[in-house]
Amino acid sequence: MKLWGGRFQKETDNLVNDFNASIQFDQRLYREDITGSMAHARMLGECGIISREDVQAITQGLAGILADIESGKVTFTAENEDIHMNVEALLTARIGAAGKRLHTARSRNDQVALDFRMYVREQIPVILSQLLELERVLCSKARQHQETVMPGYTHLQRAQPISFAQHLMAYAAQFRRDITRLEDCKARMNECPLGCGALAGTTYPIDRRMTAAALGFDGPTSNSLDGVSDRDYALELMSGLSILMMHLSRFSEEIILWCSWEFKFIELDDAYATGSSIMPQKKNPDVAELVRGKTGRVYGDLMSLLTVMKGLPLAYNKDMQEDKEPVFDAIDTVEMCLPVFAAMIDTMKVLPENMRAAAGHGFINATDCADYLTKKGMPFRDAYTAVGRLVAVCAGGGKTLEELTLSQLREVSALFDEDVYEALSLRTCMGQRKSFGGPAVSETTRQIEDVERFIKDRTK
Ligand code: ARG
Could you tell me the CATH number of the domain that includes residue 397? 1.10.40.30
CA of 219 to the centre of ligand 1 (A): 23
Please state, rounded to an integer, the average pLDDT across all residues of the chain. 96
Q: What is the CATH number for 274? A: 1.20.200.10
Buried b / exposed e along 243-267 (16+ C-beta atoms within 10 A) = bbbebbbebbebbbbbbeeebebbe
CA of 320 to the centre of ligand 1 (A): 8
Tell me what pLDDT residue 276 has: 79
Tell me what pLDDT residue 386 has: 95
State which of 333, 351, 369 marks the end of a domain: 351
Tell me what pLDDT residue 196 has: 98
Shared domain for 57 and 129, answered yes or no, is: no
The verdict on the CB of residue 119 being under 6 Å from ligand 1 is no
- Higher-pLDDT residue of 8 and 246 is 246
In a domain, 155, yes or no: no
Q: State how far the Cα of 109 lies from the Cα of 288, in Å rounded to an integer.
A: 41
Mutation choice for ligand 1 from 110, 225, 318, 324, CB with most ligand atoms inside 8 A: 318
Q: Closest Cα partner for 361 from 396, 394, 406, 390?
A: 394
The verdict on the CB of residue 230 being under 6 Å from ligand 1 is no
CA of 306 to the centre of ligand 1 (A): 18
The verdict on the CB of residue 301 being under 6 Å from ligand 1 is no
Residue/partner pairs of 72-77 with CB below 8 Å, 24 or more apart: 76/23, 76/27, 77/23
Shared domain for 76 and 166, answered yes or no, is: no
In a domain, 95, yes or no: yes
Tell me what pLDDT residue 459 has: 94
Peptide bond into 392 cis (omega under 30): no
What does the pLDDT average to over 260-270? 96
Residue 256 CA: distances (Å) to CA of 69, 95, 222, 243: 43, 59, 49, 20
Which region among 81-95, 341-355, 383-397 has the lowest average model confidence (pLDDT)? 383-397
Shared domain for 270 and 287, answered yes or no, is: yes
Alpha carbon nearest to ligand 1 atom 3, residue:
321
DSSP notation for 198-215 = TTT--SS---HHHHHHHT
CA of 336 to the centre of ligand 1 (A): 29
Shared domain for 98 and 116, answered yes or no, is: no
Mutation choice for ligand 1 from 27, 87, 109, CB with most ligand atoms inside 8 A: 109
In a domain, 208, yes or no: no
In a domain, 128, yes or no: yes
* Res. 77: pLDDT tops 80: yes
CA of 23 to the centre of ligand 1 (A): 11
In a domain, 83, yes or no: yes
Shared domain for 9 and 58, answered yes or no, is: yes
The verdict on the CB of residue 242 being under 6 Å from ligand 1 is no
Shared domain for 182 and 294, answered yes or no, is: yes
Bridge partner residues of 154 (DSSP): 157
CA of 108 to the centre of ligand 1 (A): 6
8 A C-beta contact, residue 238 and residue 302:
yes
How do residues 175-219 score in pLDDT, each as one tens digit? Answer: 999 999 999 999 999 999 999 999 999 999 999 999 999 999 999
Q: State how far the Cα of 227 lies from the Cα of 212, in Å rounded to an integer.
A: 13
In a domain, 457, yes or no: no
User: Which atom of ligand 1 lies nearest, measured to the CA of 320?
Assistant: 12
The verdict on the CB of residue 106 being under 6 Å from ligand 1 is no
Tell me what pLDDT residue 5 has: 81
How do residues 317-376 score in pLDDT, each as one tens digit? Answer: 999 999 999 999 999 999 999 999 999 999 999 999 999 999 988 899 999 999 999 999
In a domain, 444, yes or no: no
How do residues 94-104 score in pLDDT, each as one tens digit? Answer: 999 999 999 99
The verdict on the CB of residue 88 being under 6 Å from ligand 1 is no
Beta strands in 257-333 (DSSP E): 266-267
Q: Closest Cα partner for 59 from 20, 101, 28, 19?
A: 101
Shared domain for 347 and 427, answered yes or no, is: no
Buried b / exposed e along 1-20 (16+ C-beta atoms within 10 A) = eeeeeeeeeeeeeeeebeee
The verdict on the CB of residue 22 being under 6 Å from ligand 1 is yes
Tell me what pLDDT residue 397 has: 87
What does the pLDDT average to over 408-419? 95
Tell me what pLDDT residue 2 has: 79
Residue 51: pLDDT band (50, 70, 90) is very high
CA of 109 to the centre of ligand 1 (A): 6
Alpha carbon nearest to ligand 1 atom 4, residue:
321
* Res. 278: pLDDT tops 80: no
Alpha carbon nearest to ligand 1 atom 1, residue:
82
Mutation choice for ligand 1 from 17, 27, 82, CB with most ligand atoms inside 8 A: 82
State which of 351, 372, 393 marks the end of a domain: 351
CA 432 to chain centre: 35
What pTM value is reported for the model? 0.94
- Higher-pLDDT residue of 242 and 4 is 242
How do residues 15-50 score in pLDDT, each as one tens digit? Answer: 999 999 999 999 999 999 999 999 999 999 999 999
Shared domain for 285 and 188, answered yes or no, is: yes
How do residues 104-138 score in pLDDT, each as one tens digit? Answer: 999 999 999 999 999 999 999 999 999 999 999 99
In a domain, 375, yes or no: yes
Q: Which amino acid is at 360?
A: G
* Catalytic site positions: 155, 276
State which of 321, 351, 381 marks the end of a domain: 351
Shared domain for 100 and 113, answered yes or no, is: no
Structural domain harbouring 310: 109-146+162-203+213-351
The verdict on the CB of residue 108 being under 6 Å from ligand 1 is yes
Q: What is the CATH number for 84? A: 1.10.275.10
Shared domain for 296 and 384, answered yes or no, is: no
Residue 420: pLDDT band (50, 70, 90) is very high
Q: How many domains does the chain have?
A: 3
The verdict on the CB of residue 320 being under 6 Å from ligand 1 is yes
Shared domain for 224 and 246, answered yes or no, is: yes
8 A C-beta contact, residue 319 and residue 308:
yes
Alpha carbon nearest to ligand 1 atom 11, residue:
318
Shared domain for 125 and 218, answered yes or no, is: yes
H-helix or E-strand containing 150?
strand 149-154
